[in-house]
Structure 1
Amino acid sequence: MAESRTLNPRTPVVIGVGQSVDRIDSPSYKTWSVSDVAAAAAEAAFENTTRAAAVRSAVGAIGAVRTFEDTGRPSPFGKTANFPRSITRRLNIDPGYALWTKAGGNTPQDMMIEFSQRIYEGEFEVALLCGAEGISTVRNAQAQGKSLDFAENPGGQVEDRGAGLEEIRDVVLSRHGVLGAPISYALAENARRRRLGLSKQDYAARMGRLFEPFARVAAANPYSSWAVPAFSAAALLEPGKSNRWIADPYPLRLVARDQVNQGAAVIVASLAAARAMGIPEENFVYLHGYAKAAEKRLLARPDIGASPTAHATVRAALKGADTTVDDIALFDFYSCFPIAVANVVLDELALKEDDPRGFTVTGGLPFFGGPGNNYSMHGVAEMVGRLRRQPGKKGFVGANGGTLGKYSAGVYSTQPRDWTVQPSSDLQSALDAVPSVTIDERHTGPVTVETYTVVHAKTGPQYAVAIGKNTVGARVIARTPEGDTKAALRVHDTDFLDRRIDVVATGDINVFQVA
C-alpha cells in the first residue's frame, strides 16, 4: 500500500461528510423544505473538513440526488425547478457545474464513483455531493391543514439527467397492480423463500432476526428520522394496528420508511487540493474498490428471488480493492426490504445473520429512515466517520436501486491508496449475456406459481398477484379479479407457492380465480 506522500496528486479523497434531520416531533423542528434539509447537511460537511471557508470557496461542482417529488411523487406545496442550484444558493456558492441525477437508491454511490473519476481526470478539484428528502414535513402540513410555499426557481446551469423512470417502470407489472416497491419486493421475497424451501413462518423468523440488529443501531443514531424503538424480532413481525400488513410477507415494520426529513452530504477533493487547503491527512478517506451494474427487468430474470447483478458487483468491488469480505470491518447494505440485504449478505457472501460486524452503520431504511434515493449518501457519510475512528480498517457500502435492479458498491478506508480506473463495462456485458426468460403477456391456461403477494389496505387484503411458468416455460403474471377481496384473503391465509392456477387473459391483464 502506498504512503500518502507518494500518491498521485489527482487521487480523489473524501474530506468532509455531514448529515441533517428535521424531526417533526422535536422541539427544534424547523419546517424545512427539502432544499433546506440538503443545505444543512452540506453545511455540516463543510464544518467537518475543519477548513470550511477554504473548501466552500473551492467547490467547483455539485451533484444532487433526485428527490421523490422529482420522481413522480406529488408536490402539493410546490418545489424547486433546479434542486442543485437551490442548495448552492443557500450555501452562497456558485460552482461552475451542477448535476441532477436520475432516480435510484444506487445513485449516491454511483456519484461517488463518477465524481471521483472526474476529479482524477482533472475536470474538478472539489465536488459537493448531497441529497435529501422532506416528505415528513409535507405530510405533516397536509394532515394539519397548513399551507406551505416551497416553489422556487433559482436558475443557473444544471445537467438534468431526468428521472429515468423508463428504466424502472414495467407496464406489464403495473397493469397487474404491481404499483410500488413493497409489492415488487414482496414478489422477489417470496420467490427467494421458494428457492430456500421454507415455510412462511420460518422465513418470517429469518427476516425478523436479520432486521432486529438494524433497529438497535437506528435507536442509537441521532440522525434517525424518528425516535425509533429497538424493536425485537418478534415485534417486527407481529401484525397489529401499528404494524399492519402492507404486502405479503411484509408488515409495516419491514418496509422502508419514506416519511422522513433527512439530508446527507459528502465532499470529495483531489489529494493536491485537499493538501493545499490544509485538510488534516488523517481525515482523508479513499475509495479503494468500486463497481456498478444493472439487472434485467423483474419478469425476465431467471430467478425472481435473486440479483446476480448485486452478487457480481460486490465481488468486483472487493476485487478492485484487493481485499476479501473477511477483511471488511464495517458494512452498510441498502436495506429497503429484507431481501435487499439477504440477497448479498447471506446468498452471495455467505455471512451469518448474527455476524458481529453487523450489516448497517446507520440503522437501515425501515428504522433509521429511507430518504428517497439518497439513503446511501447517509451510508457513506456515516461510514467515513467510523473509519476515521478506526484508521486503516475497511468499510463496504452497497447501494441498491429499483427492485434489486441496479447495484453500486464501494470499499472505503483511511489507508492511502492511489485511484485506479475500474470500469464495469465487462461486468455489465457478462450479465447482459445471460438469457432472459420469455414473457407471455396474455395467457390463458395453467400456470405453476413461482411467487406471489397479497396487497393490503388499512381495511385488509385487496388483491393478490401471482407470477409463474406456463407449460412451455414462459413466464406469466396474473392477479385476482378487481374487487374480489375474499379471494385475496384466501391467498393471504394459505401458502400459494407451487400452486397450479388457471389463468384467463381478460382485456390487457391475466386473471386467476381462487377456489
Structure 2
Amino acid sequence: SREEIKHGIIAPAYFYGLFENAIAAREGRSRSQHRKAMAELFQPFSAVAAKNPYSQFPEERSVEFLSTPSKANYEYADPFLKWFIAQDAVNQGAAAILMSSSKADALGIAEDKRVYLHGAGEAADDLISLRPRLDGSWAMQTAIGRALHQAEKTTADLQHFDLYSCFPCAVFSSTAALGIDWKNDPRSLTLTGGLPFFGGPGNNYSLHGIAEMVATLRSDPASYGLVLANGGWMTKEAVGVYSALKPARFVPAEPYATPTEQVTLCHEDCKGTLETFTVTHGKEGPNKGIAFVRLEDGRRALANASPEALAILREDASPVGRKVAVTVDAEKERGTFSFI
C-alpha cells in the first residue's frame, strides 16, 4: 500500500522481518535466541539441498554458521542474515504435465507414472498492515485446512512435505497450521532443500516442489504428500495433497478464500505498544527501523524509529510490547515513534 511504501516496507525481507519478530516475541525469544531457532529449522533444509543434484547451493550449513553474523552471512533486515533469505536470482527450470485420467489412458501412460491430486486449497490475505494477526498466517491455515478436508486426510496421514521456505517465518507458520512440531517431527519439511539453499526462480519455486513430490511418490506409491506454495508476503497460498494412489471419487475444490476481518489504521499522533518491527541494513550497517504499533482501541499505526528508538531496536532483547509514542508528519504522511 502507499502507506507501507511511505514507511519503507518495500522489499520482501522487510515484510517478512515484521512477521518473524512477531513470532519471536510470541515465543519469548531475543534476537540471538530466535536466530538460533531459525538456524535449527533451516539446517536440515541445507542438508537436503547438499544431496540434491539440482540445488543451486549444494552445501550443508551448520547451525552455528547460519545463526552467526559474518561477512559470508551478513545482516539484511532484523532478524535475518543472508542465508535465512530465499535465493531467487538463480537459473533453474521445472515442468509438470497435467491431464485427466481418461487422457492418460488414451496416451498409454503407465499407472506407476501417475500421481494424483487428492485435495487442493487456495486463499489470499489482505495487505500486511491490515491483518489482525502477524505471528501466523490465516491464509495458510485456510488453504491447508481445505486441502486436507478435500483429500479426507489429516497431517498424521502425510509422509512427505515440501513447505514453502522463503523465510523461516513461512515455515514456522505452515508447521503451526499443520500441527507439526518442527523440532521433533521425524518427517522432512522439504524435498528440494528449500529456497535459501536449493534456490527458486522467482515465484516458480513450488513447481520444483511438485516435481520433487511426483518423483518421491512414484518411488513410495502408497504414501501421501503435501506441497505448500506461497506468494507475496504470506499473501497468496495454494496447497496440494498428492498420492500415486487413485482417489476413490472426485470432489471439487472450494472457491478461493478471502479474509473477512481487517485492522483499522491510525493516521494521527497516538500512543500504544510496539507490535512488531524490523531494522533494515545497508553497506554501512543499520539504517531504518520500521514498526507496527497497536493502540488500546485495536487500531494500528505504522511508524519509523527515531534515532534513539533505533538504538533500542538493535539491542538483543525483544522490544515488542513496550510503550511507544507516534508523531505523524502530515505532509510526508509518515509517522515516527519513540519509546516512552
TM range (shorter): over 0.9
| TM-score, normalised via structure 2 length | 0.94
Q: Is the aligned partner of 1:177 residue 2:8? A: yes
Q: Is the 8 A contact 2:41 2:182 kept in 1?
A: no
| Residue from 305, 319, 335 that aligns with 1:510 | 335
Shift of 1:184: 0.3
Q: Is the aligned partner of 1:195 residue 2:195? A: no
2:263 aligned partner = 437
Describe how 1:85-484 pairs up with structure 2 within 5 A: 170-226=1-57, 228-417=58-247, 420-425=250-255, 428=257, 432-433=259-260, 435-440=261-266, 442-480=267-305
Residue 292 of structure 2 aligns to a residue whose secondary structure is strand
Task: List per-residue Cα deviations over 1:275-329 (Å, max 9, x = no partner).
Answer: 2222211100000111101112211211112112211211211111111111111
Residue 92 of structure 2 aligns to a residue whose secondary structure is strand
Q: Is the aligned partner of 1:500 residue 2:317? A: no
- The whole-number CA distance in structure 1 between the counterparts of 2:17 and 2:259 is 24
Counterpart residue identity of residue 64, structure 2: A
Q: Is the 8 A contact 2:14 2:278 kept in 1?
A: yes
Identical columns (%): 38
Shift of 1:232: 1.3
Q: What root-mean-square deviation, in Å, do the aligned CA atoms of Structure 1 and Structure 2 show? A: 1.8
Which structure has more RCO (C-alpha within 8 Å, separation ≥ 6)? 2
Q: Mind listing any 5+ residue stretches in structure 2 that lack a counterpart?
A: none
- The whole-number CA distance in structure 1 between the counterparts of 2:105 and 2:252 is 25
Runs of 4+ in 1 over 3 A off after TM superposition: 486-490
Q: Is the 8 A contact 2:140 2:177 kept in 1?
A: no
Shift of 1:498: 1.3
Shift of 1:492: 1.5
Counterpart residue identity of residue 315, structure 2: D
Task: List per-residue Cα deviations over 1:346-368 (Å, max 9, x = no partner).
Answer: 35413332422110000000110
Residue 215 of structure 2 aligns to a residue whose secondary structure is helix
Residues 419 and 183 of structure 1, relative CA distance in 2, 3 Å threshold: farther
- The whole-number CA distance in structure 1 between the counterparts of 2:46 and 2:185 is 15
Q: Is the 8 A contact 2:75 2:281 kept in 1?
A: yes
Q: Mind listing any 5+ residue stretches in structure 1 that lack a counterpart?
A: 1-169
Residues 493 and 291 of structure 1, relative CA distance in 2, 3 Å threshold: same
Counterpart residue identity of residue 445, structure 1: C
Counterpart residue identity of residue 488, structure 1: L
Q: Is the 8 A contact 2:309 2:337 kept in 1?
A: no
Residues 332 and 273 of structure 1, relative CA distance in 2, 3 Å threshold: same
| TM-score, normalised via structure 1 length | 0.63
- The whole-number CA distance in structure 1 between the counterparts of 2:177 and 2:213 is 23
Q: Is the aligned partner of 1:488 residue 2:310? A: yes
- The whole-number CA distance in structure 1 between the counterparts of 2:35 and 2:249 is 43
Residue 134 of structure 2 aligns to a residue whose secondary structure is coil
- The whole-number CA distance in structure 2 between the counterparts of 1:268 and 1:223 is 22
Task: List per-residue Cα deviations over 1:93-118 (Å, max 9, x = no partner).
Answer: xxxxxxxxxxxxxxxxxxxxxxxxxx
Counterpart residue identity of residue 475, structure 1: R
Shift of 1:234: 1.6
Counterpart residue identity of residue 160, structure 2: L
Q: Is the 8 A contact 1:461 1:489 kept in 2?
A: no
Shift of 1:462: 0.7
Residue 98 of structure 2 aligns to a residue whose secondary structure is strand
Please, which moves more after superposition, 194-203 or 244-253?
Answer: 194-203
Q: Is the 8 A contact 1:194 1:450 kept in 2?
A: no
- The whole-number CA distance in structure 1 between the counterparts of 2:4 and 2:309 is 20
1:114 aligned partner = none
